[in-house]
A = this chain, B = another copy of it.
Amino acid sequence: MNYPKSHFSSLVKHLENRAQLTEEQMDAILDQIEVVHLKKREVFLKAGEVCKYEGYINRGCIRVFFTDHKAHEHVVQLAFEDWWIADLMSFFTGLPANYSIEALEETELFLLERSKADHLFKSVPPFETIFRILLQSAYVSLQKRVIANMSQSAEERYLELTRKYPQMELRVAQHHIASYLGITPEALSRIRKNIIEKMKKQ
Contacts and interface: CB of A to CB of B under 8 A. Distances in A.
Given A76-B146, A132-B132, A151 B92 contact: no
Given A132-B132, A151-B66, A139 B140 contact: no
Contacts of A150: 66, 68, 74
Contacts of A89: 139-140, 143-144
Contact of A131 (B66, B98, B132, B143): B132
A47 to B, nearest CB: 10
Contact of A93 (B76, B98, B140, B142): B140
B142 A143 contact: yes
A121 interface: yes
Interface residues of A, number: 30
A142 B142 contact: yes
- Dominant SS at the A interface? helix
Interface string A125-149: 1001101100111111011111100
As for how many copies of this chain the complex holds, the number is 2
Contacts of A142: 139, 142-143, 146
A98 B66 CA distance: 26
B74 A140 contact: no
A199 to B, nearest CB: 24
A66 B147 contact: yes
A147 to B, nearest CB: 5
B68 A151 contact: yes
A161 interface: no
A202 to B, nearest CB: 24
Interface in A53-77: 66, 68-69, 74, 76
16 contacts: A66-B147, A66-B150, A66-B151, A68-B150, A69-B151, A76-B146, A88-B139, A92-B136, A92-B137, A98-B143, A98-B144, A132-B132, A132-B135, A135-B136, A139-B139, A146-B146
